[in-house]
């Protein structure tokens, strides 16, 4: 064998040896140590159902992962919601709670307890037990039944959710005068308030805007806005009765308003005509107007009829124009604002005062007109 041939063979053996060493080294360290994995939990599917007094709701209100609209105040909903688990199993015994917000970016608030003043709160159905294990799943992706919940925090999960499975919960929630035409989002979080790993879908609800308005009579001898009422009114009449020359009479109504409109409400008022007798004779209004109420006239020759609002902060014009007592505006056939709020209210009450006086030049007769009050939510 030549020397050159010897070195060639040596290089081959050396190269083979290196390769074998590399293979042996990889094989020696190739079995990696095992690590305990943490489950990844994501909020997944949801569906709203009509509430019933059972652990299984029956009537769906929308399709899966579909927002719910036009929900009235006081409505109780059932929310079926699933959490998907990946990477590792989520063991039994874990507790969660439900939160709401007007944006998925937050801020988030816990759904209130049963009977609490929170705008979204839990609700007690008489038959099912809070925290009971569901009898079956309803969502198309769910594999594991978890619990029925009437308020935060949830009971500990009764069943393990393996990786690749969805667990399902049933939450009972009540709309307690949430804002109208505002979309609310819901999410489950851990019982300490920390968020889940991700959120695929957020349940969404948009309540309808609601407004209630009523008028009730006010008794005589009630002190309101610097006057004392002389006449007892009913909800639909102002019976001034017989008027004596230059002896004014005052009366009032109490207006009550509730609305969940985010920007409040306004009440406008107008008349169909001046106070008019059979022969077409009328009683004049005072000189003050809604935009600029004035003092009651010191001397009334014919007649004077006017109103005063106890709302000292209106939404148009000089907003404080009725802040001074004994200032009056004339009734007109054009509707003008008399009460206003810039936000939602519940049972807000405002007095509305009427004043009338006749002079010696006013023709006798039975005078009548109609007043119209128009309450409107503001969006």
- High-pLDDT (> 70) share of the chain, %: 91
- DSSP letter, residue 104: T
Number of domains in the chain: 2
Instruction: For residue 130, tell me if it sits in a domain.
Output: yes
* 200 in the same domain as 221: no
Domain boundary among 207, 240, 266: 207
Cα dihedral sign, 76-77-78-83? negative
Q: What angle do CA 45, 49, 53 make, to 5 degrees?
A: 130
Q: Which residues contact 47 (CB under 8 A, 6 or more apart)?
A: 60, 62, 63, 64, 65, 66, 79, 80, 138, 139
Widest pairwise Cα distance in the chain: 150
Closest to 326 (Cα-Cα) out of 300, 370, 288: 288
- Determine the average pLDDT of the residues in 92-106: 99
* 272 in the same domain as 181: no
* 122 in the same domain as 253: no
Distance CA 44, CA 201 (A): 6
pTM, two decimals, is 0.83
pLDDT 10s digits, 142-155: 999 999 999 999 99
Q: What is the pLDDT of residue 4?
A: 52
* 218 in the same domain as 200: no
Domain boundary among 183, 207, 231: 207
User: 14 or 191: whose pLDDT is higher?
Assistant: 191
Instruction: For residue 151, tell me if it sits in a domain.
Output: yes
pLDDT 10s digits, 30-89: 444 455 689 999 999 999 999 999 999 999 999 999 999 999 999 999 999 999 999 999
Residue 15's H or E segment, with its range, is helix 3-29
Instruction: For residue 288, tell me if it sits in a domain.
Output: yes
Q: What is the pLDDT of residue 304?
A: 98
* 215 in the same domain as 202: no
The CATH number given to whatever domain includes residue 139 is: 2.60.40
* 142 in the same domain as 282: no
* 239 in the same domain as 161: no
* 351 in the same domain as 246: yes
- High-pLDDT (> 90) share of the chain, %: 90
- Determine the average pLDDT of the residues in 336-359: 98
Q: What is the pLDDT of residue 36?
A: 62
Residue 359 scores a pLDDT above 50: yes
Residue 8 scores a pLDDT above 70: no
Residue 182 scores a pLDDT above 50: yes
Residue 23 scores a pLDDT above 50: no
Question: Tokens 């759904």 — which residue?
Answer: 111
Domain containing 58: what range? 40-207
pLDDT 10s digits, 258-286: 999 999 999 999 999 999 999 999 999 99
* 315 in the same domain as 197: no
Closest to 243 (Cα-Cα) out of 219, 275, 273: 275
Q: What is the pLDDT of residue 5?
A: 54
pLDDT 10s digits, 159-174: 999 999 999 999 999 9
**Phi, psi (deg, nearest 5) at residue 278:** -60, -35
- Determine the average pLDDT of the residues in 2-29: 40
Asked if 171 and 205 touch (Cβ cutoff 8 Å), the reply is no
Asked if 255 and 337 touch (Cβ cutoff 8 Å), the reply is no
* 264 in the same domain as 314: yes
User: 49 or 11: whose pLDDT is higher?
Assistant: 49
Domain boundary among 207, 231, 266: 207
Residue 305 scores a pLDDT above 80: yes
The average confidence (pLDDT) of the chain is 93
Instruction: For residue 10, tell me if it sits in a domain.
Output: no
* 218 in the same domain as 310: yes
Closest to 209 (Cα-Cα) out of 66, 88, 13, 344: 344
Q: Sorting pLDDT into bands at 50, 70 and 90, what band is 3?
A: very low
CB < 8 Å & 24+ apart, contacts of 65-71:
65/201, 67/183, 67/203, 67/204, 67/205, 67/206, 68/204, 68/205, 68/206, 69/205, 69/206, 69/208, 70/206, 70/207, 70/208, 71/175, 71/205, 71/206, 71/207, 71/208
Instruction: For residue 282, tell me if it sits in a domain.
Output: yes
Q: What is the pLDDT of residue 379?
A: 87
Instruction: For residue 153, tell me if it sits in a domain.
Output: yes
Instruction: For residue 162, tell me if it sits in a domain.
Output: yes
* 246 in the same domain as 196: no
pLDDT 10s digits, 117-146: 999 999 999 999 999 999 999 999 999 999
Instruction: For residue 24, tell me if it sits in a domain.
Output: no
């Amino acid at each position: 064998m030549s020397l050159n041939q010897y070195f060639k063979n040596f290089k081959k053996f050396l190269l083979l040896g290196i390769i074998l060493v590399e293979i042996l080294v990889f094989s020696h360290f190739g079995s990696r140590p095992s690590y305990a994995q943490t489950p990844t939990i994501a909020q997944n599917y949801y569906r709203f159902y009509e509430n019933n007094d059972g652990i299984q709701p029956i009537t769906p209100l929308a399709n899966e992962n579909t927002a719910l609209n036009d929900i009235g105040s006081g409505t109780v909903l059932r929310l079926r919601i699933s959490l998907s688990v990946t990477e590792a199993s989520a063991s039994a015994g874990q507790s969660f709670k439900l939160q709401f917000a007007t944006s998925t970016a937050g801020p988030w608030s816990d759904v209130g307890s049963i009977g609490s003043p929170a705008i979204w709160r839990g609700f007690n159905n008489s038959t099912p037990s809070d925290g009971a294990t569901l009898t079956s799943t309803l969502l198309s992706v769910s594999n594991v039944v978890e619990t029925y919940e009437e308020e935060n925090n949830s009971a500990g999960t009764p069943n393990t959710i393996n990786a690749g499975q969805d667990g399902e919960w049933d939450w009972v929630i009540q709309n307690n005068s949430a804002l109208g035409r505002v979309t609310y989002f819901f999410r489950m979080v851990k019982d300490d308030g920390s968020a889940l790993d991700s959120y695929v879908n957020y349940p969404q609800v948009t309540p309808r805007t609601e407004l209630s308005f009523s008028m009730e009579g006010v008794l005589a001898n009630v002190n309101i806005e610097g006057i004392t009422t002389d006449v007892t009114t009913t909800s639909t009449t102002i019976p001034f009765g017989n008027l004596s020359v230059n002896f004014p009479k005052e009366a009032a109504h109490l207006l009550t308003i509730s609305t969940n409109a985010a920007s409040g409400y306004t009440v406008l008022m107008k008349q169909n005509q001046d106070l008019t007798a059979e022969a077409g004779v009328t009683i004049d209004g005072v000189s003050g107007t809604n935009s600029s109420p004035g003092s009651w006239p010191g001397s009334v020759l014919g007649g004077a009829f006017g109103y005063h609002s106890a709302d000292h902060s209106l939404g148009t014009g000089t907003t404080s124009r009725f802040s001074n007592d004994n200032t009056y505006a004339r009734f007109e056939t054009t509707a003008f604002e008399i009460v206003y709020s810039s936000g939602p209210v519940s049972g807000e009450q405002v007095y509305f005062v009427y004043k009338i006086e006749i002079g010696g030049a006013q023709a006798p007769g039975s005078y009548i007109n109609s007043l119209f009050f128009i309450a409107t939510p503001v969006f």
